[in-house]
Each structure stands twice: as C-alpha cells, then as structure tokens.
Chain A
Amino acid sequence: MENGFSSPRSESFPAGLRVLVVDDDPTWLKILEKMLKKCAYEVTTCHLAREALKLLRERKDGYDIVISDVNMPDMDGFKLLEHVGLEMDLPVIMMSVDGETSKVMKGVQHGACDYLLKPIRMKELRNIWQHVFRKKIHEIRDIEHENIDIIQMSRNGSDLSDDGHMYCVEDYNSKKRKDFDKNDDKDFSDHSTKKHRVVWSVDLHQKFVKAVNQIGFDKVGPKKILDLMNVPWLTRENVASHLQKYRLYLSRLQKENDLKASFGGIKHSDFPPKDPAASYGHQSSISLNQNDVANGYQFCGSNFIAQDADTKNHEGDLKIVSEMTEIKRALTTDVSDLQKARSSQSFGPSFASLETEESYPAFDSTNPPEFSWSENTETQVKKELKPHPQLEDGYSQLPPHGPKPQIQMNQLQSDPAVTSALSMTGRDISGSIEIKPLFTELKSKHVSHVSPTESAIDTFPVQTKSQLINHQSFEPISTVISSMKPQGFNLSITDLESCQRNLTSSDPNFAPINEDLTVWLKGDYYSMNFGQSIDFIDYDDPGFLAEVPFYLYDPLTADFQCPIDSTTECPIVDQGLFIA
C-alpha cells in the first residue's frame, strides 16, 4: 500500500484488512474491536460519525471497509453511509439491534453492502472481507467495460476530445488489467494499491455538481461532465459511476420530497399542533435530510461562487441572493450531516408545501402556514421596487443550478426559514440554517432601508433575551460548519447564523424587532461569534411560526426608510449574542 498511515496488507488477504468501526455505544465499540482484532484485521474505532468522516477524508485510501451503527446521535447512520459511498466509494456495513425489514431495506437502498443484527457474532465479522473483494472485482469489470466502449468510440472517431481521455484511460486500464491478470488473490493487495481509487472529495464533488448544473441535469452525460470538470486524472468511468450514484441519490430525494409535498399540501391550511407535527417530523426529517444533502450537493459547486460573492459586500442582490442560497445549501448539507434529521418537524411541511407551491394562503391571515411565507416573499418581492427585480433575477438565476423543485424549495425556504427554524426541534438545525440565511438575506436586502420603529428598538433587548436561548443551538452548527468549510465561508455562515438566531427566536409580537435584527444583522454580519453549545431548544409552538412571517413581512410592505442606525442595535445584539 502506498498509504503511509497504515501498514500494507500482507499477502494473506483478508488478514490486515483495514476496518473503520463507528458506533456511539462504547461497549459495542470495544467488543467489535476485540472481535475484529481476533480476525486479524486492523481496526480503528470512532464514537462519532463526523469524526469518522474526518478520518476517512484525511486518510484517503486508508481504509478498506466501514462498519457503522444505524442510530447515532450526531448523524444518521444512513446519511454517513451515503457520504461514504459517494465520496470514498467504500463498502459500508450497517449494524443495528433493530432488524425490521423496512430498516434493512432502507439500508440496502442507501447502498449498504450488508446489514448485521446486534448482537453480532464473530463469524459474521470474519466474512466482511468478501464485500471488499466483490467491490474490487466489480470496479475492474466496469473499467473493462469502459475500456471497450472507449475503444469502440475511438474507432468510430466520434469524439476527438475523448481520445486524449481514452488513451490515458486505456493505458491506465490496460495496465490495471495486466496487473489484475498477473495478480491472483494472493496479490490482491498489490492490485488494489495500483488501482487508483478515486476519492470524491468535497471539492471534486463540487466541481462535478457545477458541471452537471451547467450542462443541465437532463442532458448530462459523463463525457460532458468530464470535459467541463477539467480534471486531468479523472477518468470517464469514474465520472459515470459517480453520476449514477448521484442520480440515484437525487431520485430518492425527489421521491421523498414528493411524498412530503403531498403530505404537506393536505395540512397547509391549518398548521398542525405539535403532536401531529411530531409524527410529521419523522417523515419530514428524512426528506429534510435528504433535501439538505441534495441541496448541499447541488450547490456545493456554487460555494466557490458564494464565497467570492460573500467577500464583495452587496455586489448586487442577484449575487447575494444566489450566494445566500448556495451558502445556505452548503451549510445545510454540512449541518444536516452533522445533525440528526429526526427533529425537523414543521420544517417538513414547509418543505413539502414549498415544493408543490400549492398552499399559499392569503398573506393577510394572521396564522398563515409556513408555506404562505414563501409565496408572500415572492409576491412581496415582485411587488417591491428596485430591490425586487434583482431578487427576481436571483430567483430566476437559481433554478438553472439544479433540479427545479429543489431550487424552488430553497428559494422559498428562505421565507419559511423563520417559521421552520422556529419549529425546529433540538436536533434539526440544518433546516433552519438553510432557510434562515436565505430569508434573512433577502429581507436584509430589501429591508435595509426600513428603519425599525422606536418601540421595536425598545423591545429589542427583551427580544434578545428570548433569542439567547436559541443562539446556543446555532453556535455548534456554526462551529461545525466553520470547522468543515474553508474560511471564506465562515463569514457568510456567521451571517446566516446570526440572522437565523435572531429570526428563530423572535416572538411574533416582536416582529418589528426581527426587522431590526435583520437590518442590523446586515451591518453586523461579521461581528457575530460562534462557539456555543449545540443543544437546541425544542420549539413547541407551531403557531409561532405562522405568525412570524407575517410580522417579518411588515417592513416589506412599509415604505423604505432610512437605514437603521446600527449602533443602537449593536450593543443589544452583541449582548444577546455573547450572553448565549
């Protein structure tokens, strides 16, 4: 193994197989470690899913197989499974004490190689090497198929640009094949080392997504993507297999979203009380997660753009809007990765409704469902003067970036961001972050000229206090996000975070304060701090949500006034922020 971290596998495969075990239960972790060591495997153990992802990303090609538990506090096992499959393309085995068929099916759907039931026997672990072996064989077969295709194509002379790729691929593949032929199982390790496993890093995946978005999802093809990506060492079959996985991923998300949409459409007129929302939450959380991930995936590529846009302050509504959307998406992905999806209760409905865009009740109603938010935002935006066209442009710009439903969802999400954020339960911060930033951004864009009323300012401190509690939940997200994203993002994230914090904690009565917050938020984006605990308080008041958008929209309807004096708000905000 060229890998410097772990020792090369000995000739006696499967001995020395490098296994990564992820489980939040320390007892099981110890037992599995001992069992795997007895099988003569090399074991690394992990308590947390994000720690595991970090390890996997650090040591690209450092592990042969991953064993993960399904229920983990920080991230859903299935989500981790998807990530590993997409980024590292390693075989993943799921484990759980729950052996329900639905769960097992879900595991297989998400790409698990196997699903073990706890308590796990040693003999079950002895056989895990077959998954590694099988995957290698399949990859080789794929490569050989690709080879044949490429050769045929070159013969036809169909694509000159492909020739370059073809030749290197061919050479590479032929070399690999020779290696493979030479090597039997005995030299399996050698073969695997020579095989250049493509690790789909975040950057690479972003490029991929950008290329896909540029081409247009329907017309996409591996060759086109490869050309656009302009990565010399990447082969067409790498792209093809990755595209396939991505497609499956999106289709799954799509299905979930449709499910949510239909479900949400029914309920839109009357926001369900907490209990239904709770059950709701289960489903929506799943869709939410998937959406988040999908969004994140879709817009990962645009993160670069977002970053640039972020640095130039207020270049234009268009840019900012798209930037926010993208950042939001990226954040969402990260956050959702890090958070358990289960808590996205009311978020689900809003998501669903957003998707379908069916339920947009009158804006005037005091208890509009969250979805009305999105519609309102849109209409509001359109109604407004100069900022609006820009916003609209932003809207129009966004759709091409990815599958329409999701884009719209994101767009609209910004509005319900507040509501959904409010309705979020402890664990589901991703949704709120995602929505909030966009909304906040939009609001701040258009509301910047609206000055808060005196009363609003007075009530601000009170507001801040109530928001303090909520700040805490966002802190960890920001920390997590900051740790995960490059620096350029931190600022934007901060902005989003702060916006989100302010928005989520706002009480409907404090709507004007929210305005203020958004306004000064804009000014104070970069002064926000992160670093609080992750515990997010469960939001039990769905009615809350409905009202917030209404109030938030007040400034939009009001005349544009002179910019808010941020100095007044600053101390309050800072106080609020730092207390938490």
Chain B
Amino acid sequence: MDRNHLKRQVDLMKRSLFDQGYLDEQFIQLEELQDDDNPNFVEEIVTLFFNDSARLLQNIEQALVSVPIDFARLDNYMHQFKGSSSSIGAKRVKNECTRFKEYCTAGNAEGCFRTFVQVKQEHAILRTKLETYFQAYISFMCVFVLVIFALTYICLLFCLYLFSWQDKLDHLGLQEVKLDDYMDEGGSLIIDLYYKYDKAHMIE
C-alpha cells in the first residue's frame, strides 16, 4: 500500500541520516520529547534552529571579512553557533565548528575561511536533507490520514447506498404489484389490439 511505502521511505531516510553522520543521538532525544501536546515538536525545533542559525552564520561571516579579524569575537560567534547546532544533533556541522574553532584559536585566518565554507556547506546539506525528511514524514502522515479519511468516506457511501437500495427495493415491490395490474390490463389490451388487427385483416 502507498502508505507503507511512504513509511518505509521515511524510516530509510532517517536511518541514512544517522548512518552518514548527519545526525546524532540528540535528534532521537527530540523525537522522544514529541508527544500529543506537541505533535510537531521536532519539526518546530528544527525550523527554529535553521532560522536562528542563519543569523549566527551572518555574524560569523561579518566578523571574518572585517579587517583586522577579531579572533576572539569570531570564536565567540562560532561557539554560539556550535551550541545551537548541538541542540538538534547536527553532528557534521558541529564537527566542522570544532575545526573552525581550532583554527580560530591558532589565529589562522586562512584556515578559518576554509573551514567556514565547510560549515556553511554542511549546514546547507543538512537543511536540505531534513527538509526532505520532514516532507516525506509529513506526506506519510498526510497519506495516512487521507487513507483513513478515504476509508471512512467509502464506508459512509456504502451505508448510504445500502440504505437507498432498501428504499428502492420497497419501491420496487410496489411497482411490481402495479405492473402486474398493469400487465393484466396491458395484456388484455394487447390481445384486443391483436384481435382488432386480425379482424381488420380478415375483413380484407
């Protein structure tokens, strides 16, 4: 069934994200926090992260292009970003952040630039992947819901149909009686007609 297929797809996606090291245990923690009170908790958190991280990345970028580079400030911004990415379990992003911080403490501007490119890249990749994941998840959920709805709808229709047949049947019963009556009449009429015809024919 389509639903199962989607579910399998969602599970596969999640497993690959973990296997490839994009996400770590923190993501599972978030999923465990999800409950009836917050049914979309994980998605909300991820959205919140990506919105906030855009701002942080901008800060870092500005600090990087400023002359002369203030490494202390840069380190601080990256620290914030690293902390933020640890909140959703963005493992790869976090690793790149650690590398960046190493270059930063060493005062290596070149290294910082290179690593920052990597950070942004990982961030973008993760974003895409998670977007896809959530879309699949949502569509799975949607299909699931739709299927339920569809089934319900069909049942309803069926019931209605049955109900209406009942009526028809009753109606049919009456009709039959009438027909029978009519038939008798009709039948005699036809015979009459035949007779008249024959009669007419015979006169000729």
Q: A residues touching B (Cβ–Cβ < 8 Å)?
A: 24-28, 30-31, 34-35, 38, 69, 71, 96-98, 118-119, 121-122, 274-275, 278, 281-282, 342, 538
Contact = CB atoms under 8 A, between A and B. Distances in A.
Q: Give 8 nearest A-B pairs by CB, closest first.
A: A97-B83, A119-B26, A27-B87, A27-B49, A119-B86, A28-B87, A118-B86, A34-B33
Given A34-B33, A35-B33, A25 B83 contact: yes
Contact of B84 (A27, A96, A122): A27
B138 to A, nearest CB: 20
Interface stretch (B74-82, B114-122, B140-148, B177-185): B74-82
Given A27-B84, A71-B79, 20 more contacts: A25-B83, A26-B52, A27-B48, A28-B83, A31-B33, A31-B45, A71-B76, A71-B80, A71-B83, A96-B83, A118-B83, A118-B87, A119-B25, A119-B29, A121-B29, A122-B29, A122-B32, A278-B70, A282-B72, A342-B76
A536 to B, nearest CB: 13
B86 A34 contact: no
Contacts of A275: 68
Nearest to B33: A34
B75 to A, nearest CB: 10
Contacts of B72: 278, 281-282, 342
Contacts of A274: 68
B84 A25 contact: yes
Nearest to A117: B86
B126 interface: no
Contacts of B44: 30
Interface residues of B, number: 27
B137 interface: no
Contacts, number: 64
Interface in B5-55: 25-26, 29-30, 32-33, 38, 41, 44-45, 48-49, 52
Nearest to A281: B72
A538 to B, nearest CB: 8
Interface in B55-94: 68, 70-72, 76, 79-80, 82-84, 86-89
Which secondary structure dominates chain A's binding surface? Answer: helix
A156 B44 CA distance: 67
Given A30-B45, A342-B72, A97 B86 contact: yes
B45 A25 contact: no
Nearest to B38: A34
A493 B87 CA distance: 41
A348 to B, nearest CB: 13
Nearest to B30: A31
A151 B55 CA distance: 62
B105 to A, nearest CB: 11
Contacts of B48: 26-27, 30
A429 B76 CA distance: 18
Contacts of B89: 119
Contacts of B32: 122
B26 to A, nearest CB: 4
Contacts of A281: 72
A405 B33 CA distance: 53
B80 to A, nearest CB: 7
A34 B171 CA distance: 63
A433 B15 CA distance: 56
B154 to A, nearest CB: 39
12 contacts: A26-B48, A27-B49, A28-B83, A34-B41, A71-B79, A96-B83, A97-B79, A97-B86, A119-B25, A119-B29, A121-B29, A275-B68
Contacts of B45: 27, 30-31
A24 B79 contact: no
Contacts of B26: 119
A287 to B, nearest CB: 16
Contact of A27 (B68, B76, B88): B88
Contacts of A122: 29, 32-33
A96 to B, nearest CB: 7
A358 B48 CA distance: 53
A571 B58 CA distance: 40
A274 B68 CA distance: 10
Contacts of B76: 71, 342
Contact of A25 (B41, B52, B70): B52
A25 B80 contact: yes
A98 B88 CA distance: 16
Nearest to B82: A97
Contacts of A98: 79
Nearest to B26: A119
A266 to B, nearest CB: 21
B139 to A, nearest CB: 25
Nearest to B49: A27
A31 B88 CA distance: 9
B101 to A, nearest CB: 9
B18 to A, nearest CB: 15
Q: Which of A30, A98, A274 has the most CB of B within 10 A?
A: A30
Contacts of B30: 31
A538 B73 CA distance: 12
B51 to A, nearest CB: 9
Q: Which of B30, B44, B83 has the most CB of A within 10 A?
A: B83
Contacts of B29: 119, 121-122
A26 B70 CA distance: 25
A282 B76 CA distance: 12
Given A97-B86, A118-B86, A24 B33 contact: no
Nearest to B70: A278
A26 B72 CA distance: 23
Nearest to A274: B68
Contacts of A28: 83-84, 87
B115 to A, nearest CB: 17
A531 B76 CA distance: 27
A373 B25 CA distance: 57
B35 to A, nearest CB: 8
Contacts of A30: 44-45, 48
Nearest to B48: A27
Nearest to B32: A122
A83 B89 CA distance: 32
B87 A119 contact: yes
A38 B87 contact: no
A198 B49 CA distance: 40
A24 B87 contact: no
Nearest to A122: B29
B63 to A, nearest CB: 12
Q: Which of A24, A27, A31, A538 has the most CB of B within 10 A?
A: A27
Nearest to B44: A30
Contacts of A96: 83
